[in-house]
Amino acid sequence: MKAQTHTLITTGHRKSDAVSTRSLQRYAITLGLVLGLVASVNGAGTLTPKGSPDQPIQIRDHHLEVTLNNGFARSEVTQTFFNPNDKDLEAVYRFPLPKSASLSEVTMTLGERDIHGEVVEKEKAKTIYENEKYAGNDAGLATKNGYQSFDFQVHPVRAKSETRLRIVYYQPLEIDTGIGRFVYPLEEGGTDDVATSFWNPVNSKVEGTFSAAFELKSAWPVANVRVPGFEKETVTDKLTDGHYKVRVEKKDHSLTGDLVLYYRLADDLPGRVELIPFRKGESGPGTFMMVVTPGLDLKPLTGGADYVFVLDTSGSMQTKLRVLTDGVSRVLGKMQPRDRYRIVTFSTTASDLTQGWKVAEEANVQETLKQIAALHPGGSTNLYDGLTLAMKDLDADRATSVILVTDGVTNTGVVDPVAFHKLTKSHDIRIFGFLLGNSANWPLMRTVCDASGGFYAGVSNADDILGQILQAKSKVLHECLHDAELSITGVKTLNTTGLLPGKIYRGQQLVMFGQYEGSGEAELVLKARMTGEDKVYRTKLSFPESDEANPELERLWAMDQIEQFELRANTGVLPAGESDSAIADLGVKYQLVTDQTSMLVLGDDAFARQGVERRNQQRVAMERSAQATRAAAPQPVSYRVDNAQQPFTPSPAPSHSGGSGFSLGGGGGALSPISTMAIALFAVLALGVTGLSKKGKA
């Protein structure tokens, strides 16, 4: 995988030239499931296409400002570029797309002039951008490149001048076993592309200062914070138990890796339910974000299970089979003799390396490792064939989990998400995966894992090694809550998401969005099964007539709805045309860049000339006003709706026992290739054990 993010791809034309967008260099981005392996990382910065005489555009400075508060994060990125050439350029700025991120603002500063963004239908936005560009006017266009990235076309980047680009996006946050995690994506996923790297030299160096400022406001006490890889450059100020300010600053920094902030909540916090509402007046529905942090007495698991390792041996694995062998060795060494395993490999076709099930005894494990060491990479990537073979010869009397490991793209055989969904639903198995890389196809992985009752999560190459292992161990040692259903009565809720989680693993937080009509008291009920016994948990909550503290929730809810439409299309529930229309409507109404909408960046006069309504201008003003009010508050607001006398669940929320023990990583804390594979496989295996409860064998 290579880093090509936060980049400007330039085309060397004068301001008056008619530049075809087809002349921009296009890059092949990962179109598959990326799970586990890391190749060498190239730089991120300014790219110059083959044959261009232009000097690379310089990165003068790069600044990130993040506020983490009330279950979501606001990220503001400001990057200044300098064009050292004697002519104006058109450029494309690429930014990896964080999962569930809602892009809300784009501002370009050209000289002394700021121009801002408005979201319109995609084709309309493209036409207006081209017209304004050809007329020689300042213009920008932000589009969504599938699930991988945002692309910003900028015209013109003035000769011998600076251009400043500012973007703002929101994303929900989740706590896993008491650990919060925020990733700022700088490293793009992608598969190996030596030719692109050769013909397009990369300038990823920030000539001036790279800086990041985090403000963490938590209604619950925070024990510690950490930015792995930047320990020497990090200054941390603890203002109160739940209020931290963290600053990272580095000179001559290259944008080649993600920036990760961890924060660990205090131990022994209660299981809880938090309800964050937004409603402007009494007209129209309100919006809410509900965060459920279960505190449950989940029992340790015992008993044997079956595991199928599905390993990619395609051509891109040339330098990684040794890493793969090391990772499988670590995982197989953790298994019990009563467990069984199979190894399925796939490239252009799939094969059963172990020729059936093997008991996890020492002699079998050593023989399997020799077989893996003798593998030779080659061919394309037929993921569907690999999964199909993995699902053969299953034992109905034993719980089975599939661990999928690939670094490439699914480019051979069946590639339709609907077909993957049908295949997964046809067997009683669980598929587990950790998505590594900012261009991983997480929508397809969500489709597969949700259908199987499995689990998936993102893993950055900058993550802590020990932290991933600790969270995996937390889950492997305990059963899960299964057949879980959430319901709300007393107040009408609509367009909700995540109300049928199915399984709840130890330490897993449930984050869901919805709308509500009316106001007043309601009841939240969670019904589930644990160790074969029915469980019911309930609490009271109140939906307000008016609460204008968090208007950003409307964008987050709309993005959540968009992801649900995409999921329904991927599973064949909705025709693609119907989901596309609904996504376009949500994108325009709530000003979100989607596959069907784009953000135009123009001057006020151009918006008036083109007849574009300033919806985003109004929404941004409302959000900034609320943010200023929250920033002035001395303490973060607690949105807990249950209480200590009548808690939603009976036990404290799971956490990592702490003190100074949260120093999770050695050295810089980043994942090495071998450690990454070990963690990905070990963590997935750990999660797979929780699937035993599905068949009542826990």
- Domain range summary for the chain, segments of one domain joined by +: 7-11+38-265, 272-299+481-632, 306-477+668-695
Characterize the bridge pairing of strands 149-157 and 139-145: antiparallel
The region that residue 647 occupies, defined by phi over 0 for left and psi between -120 and 50 for alpha, beta otherwise, is: beta
With CA atoms as reference, report the closest residue to 288 among 296, 271, 276: 276
**Considering the entire predicted model, what is its pTM?**
0.78
Question: What type of residue is 515?
Answer: Q
Structure token pair of residue 383 = 């993921």
Q: What count of other Cβ atoms lies within 10 Å of the Cβ of residue 614?
A: 14
228 and 260 Cβ atoms separated by less than 8 Å: yes
671 and 462 Cβ atoms separated by less than 8 Å: yes
Structure token pair of residue 110 = 């050209």
Structure token pair of residue 69 = 């508060």
In angstroms, the first-to-last Cα distance of the chain is 39
Q: What is the DSSP secondary structure assignment for residue 328, as one 8-state letter?
A: H
Q: What count of other Cβ atoms lies within 10 Å of the Cβ of residue 176?
A: 19
Largest CA distance in the chain: 76
Angle at the Cα of 683 from the Cα atoms of 682 and 688, rounded to 5 degrees:
95
Q: What count of other Cβ atoms lies within 10 Å of the Cβ of residue 658?
A: 14
Do you know the residue count of the chain? 698
Whole-number Å distance between alpha carbons of 655 and 662: 11
Interval 579-591: pLDDT, tens: 899 999 999 999 9
Q: Which regions of the chain are under pLDDT 50?
A: 1-51, 189-202, 437, 465-466, 469, 658-698
Query: What CATH number was assigned to the domain covering residues 306-477+668-695?
Result: 3.40.50.410
Q: Where are the alpha helices (DSSP H) in 315-464?
A: 321-332, 362-373, 383-390, 417-425, 442-452
User: To which residue do tokens 């570029």 refer?
Assistant: 81
> Can you point out the beta strands (E) in 296-449?
306-312, 340-346, 350-352, 358-359, 400-405, 430-436
Structure token pair of residue 92 = 């494309």
Whole-number Å distance between alpha carbons of 218 and 242: 5
Whole-number Å distance between alpha carbons of 449 and 451: 5
Question: What type of residue is 554?
Answer: E
Q: CA dihedral in degrees (474, 477, 478, 480; nearest 10)? A: 70
> Can you point out the beta strands (E) in 122-200?
139-145, 149-157, 161-172, 175-176, 179-184
- Count Cβ atoms within 10 A of the Cβ of residue 245 and give its class: 0-12 exposed, 13-18 middle, 19 or more buried: middle
291 and 71 Cβ atoms separated by less than 8 Å: yes
64 and 184 Cβ atoms separated by less than 8 Å: yes
| Spatial strand order in the sheet of 272-278 | 272-278, 286-293, 510-517, 492-494
Omega cis (within 30) before 228: no
Q: What is the DSSP secondary structure assignment for residue 637, as one 8-state letter?
A: P
Q: Where are the alpha helices (DSSP H) in 513-653?
A: 553-570, 576-590, 604-610, 615-632
Whole-number Å distance between alpha carbons of 519 and 145: 40
Helix (H, G, I), strand (E, B) or coil at 104: strand
The pLDDT score that the predictor gives to residue 409 is: 60
Cross-strand pairs, 485: 527
107 Cβ contact list (under 8 Å, min separation 6): 114, 115, 116, 117, 165, 166, 167, 601
Whole-number Å distance between alpha carbons of 465 and 472: 11
Cross-strand pairs, 279: 547
Query: What CATH number was assigned to the domain covering residues 7-11+38-265?
Result: 2.60.40.1730
Helix (H, G, I), strand (E, B) or coil at 549: coil
> Distance from CA of residue 191 to its chain's centroid?
18
The pLDDT score that the predictor gives to residue 657 is: 59
323 and 673 Cβ atoms separated by less than 8 Å: yes
The pLDDT score that the predictor gives to residue 246 is: 96
Whole-number Å distance between alpha carbons of 451 and 568: 12
638 and 219 Cβ atoms separated by less than 8 Å: yes
Whole-number Å distance between alpha carbons of 80 and 208: 10
User: To which residue do tokens 């944008």 refer?
Assistant: 255
With CA atoms as reference, report the closest residue to 46 among 229, 255, 271: 255
Structure token pair of residue 111 = 């000289």
Characterize the bridge pairing of strands 597-602 and 113-121: antiparallel
274 Cβ contact list (under 8 Å, min separation 6): 71, 219, 290, 291, 293, 638, 639, 640, 641
- Count Cβ atoms within 10 A of the Cβ of residue 32 and give its class: 0-12 exposed, 13-18 middle, 19 or more buried: buried
The pLDDT score that the predictor gives to residue 434 is: 61
Angle at the Cα of 613 from the Cα atoms of 609 and 619, rounded to 5 degrees:
140
Q: What is the DSSP secondary structure assignment for residue 615, as one 8-state letter?
A: H
Whole-number Å distance between alpha carbons of 142 and 152: 4
Structure token pair of residue 31 = 């179109």
Whole-number Å distance between alpha carbons of 654 and 292: 13
